[in-house]
Amino acid sequence: MPRRFLAIALFLLLFVAARASAGATGMAIDPLIHLSADRISFSFDRYTIDARGHVVVRTSNGLVIRGQTFSMDLKLDRYLVAGHVTLQAGGHTQHGAAVSAYLQFNRLYVVPITGEPDRWTFIDNDLTKPYKGLIMPGDVFYFANFGSKRPFLTARAAVIRPLHYVRFEHVTLPFLGAPLPLPTYYLNFSADPNLVQNSLSGATYDLTYNFAGNEHAISALHLRYDSINKGYVSFEQHLSGRNGYAVVSLNPATRPQKYWNAVLDYQPNQRLSIRTFTQLFTDQTWLHSPRSAAQWSVATLTYALPKSFVQLTGFQTNYRLVNNPTESQNHPTYLQFTATTFPHQVGKLPLFESMNWGFGFNHDSYGAYGNGGLQKFGGYNYTTIWNHALGFTLYTPSLRLTHHVPASKMYYFNASFTHSRQYFSVPHFVDVQTTSASISRQFSTSVGAYLNYQVQNVGDIYKVGGYTPYTPVINGVTYSSFAAFRGIATFRTLALGINGSPDPAFNWTILARVHRDFPKPEIGLFAFTPYNVLGNITPPAQLGEPPYDITADLRFRVARHLNLEVQRSYFFHYGTINWSPTFFVQFTP
């Protein structure tokens, strides 16, 4: 079974890559431009390229231009060459003082060297037919001005796919005040959303180096830091096709405990979507034989119907891929089918509803319970558990609480109610019920606030047996509040959030919460809520969460393409913790 899942994941990866290659031949794109010069500069602020000295431009459709200076606006999709210009195409040569190429219109505007000042237009690179007297754009020979700012990088050569990417070669990149030589630097500026997908886990700091790529692929190294792994290097490969994408990564690559991730997404049409995620964990020194390894894969197929959609999800885990007797042999397999309706308005009320229904299959012939199984209950080992679920959601759109007042004094109300029940072939069921209501106001264009109250009830209820009365005693302390617990937990949260964004390069948020949970968050009974590598609490509801917390988050731009996020959280009145701060810093592009 594990090998089968890995084979399926590999097949889908190769399939998406093949579709990407097929898409490359089916898309109409501008010709490839090969640029070389004594010095090539690139400005991130203006997205312009400037080249000086012995400029040579070669395009994939046979045009060769030589000159002394070159300027290209990547967003406007046009370039200019000036200074002793020579054009060659189809065996013909044309001399001039400057030439401007508008790629979208396939036109060349030339200032020829003639006895009288003149301007000529060539269409489709045909240098034998100059069109004289045609009206030209007013800024056709305008050179971009870098101003006093230093360029982001300099290079000796570049490969440009207009409206898609630039790959610089023989690069010098300023880094920490010193020149950093690099063989290549790839920059993508296309409108393809698939090339920005990623499969890396969160990190406090990530410095990305795209060293190779084209219009359908990016190869990148990441210099990263987080509170658990500290400093490390990761690798990520992006592939994009007409109807899908694939992303594979190794993270961290320079630590013994490595995660090999593969994300694949394929949409053959507007109704059908196939998405898979496979993760291989290895504990190994560099790329030597691993001491331990585990793998899990999930595949999701989604199909849209006129007023609903159906989803089939498969999940498989193998906890032992190498012969390590200290590791579990569990190989759980999970299959779930779900049907969900799209939101539908209830009559003419300001209320919308959505329903979902599903059934699932869970199996594990191995396990920790005697001869194996998923769960031991009533003296029987369940190696297979069937389940089915039914749920619904009711919610209101944003309702105005005030009328005929300025926008800065407008209050809005939102509410939602969700209930789901999941039955199992083991004689028990799980209920999850969430009720939420909030009031929000936008005080100005840059400051807003909201007040939210949420109640979540989670019940793990057995028809026979299950939870029995229990009064824990830990370190001589008796926790009598836990004696009433029978598998039903309640989480009540009151949250006040304030956010401000006075400038696109600066924003801040403050979040204060009060929790009233059952069972009570006794500090000796429950472990403190764990944090992920970004310093955030992952579970939405966690037993043992401190009753009071305040979090302030500040994000601002420290460089042209680098943001700094600083977060400070305080937990208090939790057992012996009166005022416990946590500090978090993250750099983002």
pLDDT of residue 27: 45
∠ CA 65-67-72, nearest 5°, is 75
On whether the 33-161 domain is CATH 2.60.450.10, my answer is yes
- Spatial separation of the C-alpha atoms in residues 110 and 570, rounded to whole Å: 66
pLDDT of residue 114: 79
pLDDT of residue 420: 97
pLDDT of residue 203: 85
pLDDT of residue 26: 42
Place of tokens 């020979």: 141
Instruction: Compute CA distances 145 → 45, 74, 130, 174, whole Å.
Output: 11, 14, 30, 20
Which residues of the chain, if any, have pLDDT below 70?
Answer: 1-30, 146-147, 367-372, 527-542, 560, 575-582
- Enumerate helices (H) and strands (E) in the chain, giving the number of each: 1, 36
Instruction: Compute CA distances 381 → 331, 370, 426, 464, 474, whole Å.
Output: 15, 8, 10, 16, 31
- Three-class SS of residue 127? coil
Give the domain ranges of the chain: 33-161
Q: Assess contact for 44 and 19: CB atoms under 8 A.
A: no
Q: Assess contact for 508 and 555: CB atoms under 8 A.
A: yes
Q: pTM of the full predicted structure? A: 0.83
pLDDT of residue 282: 94
Partnered with residue 347 across adjacent β-strands are none
- Three-class SS of residue 521? coil
- Three-class SS of residue 135? coil
pLDDT of residue 23: 45
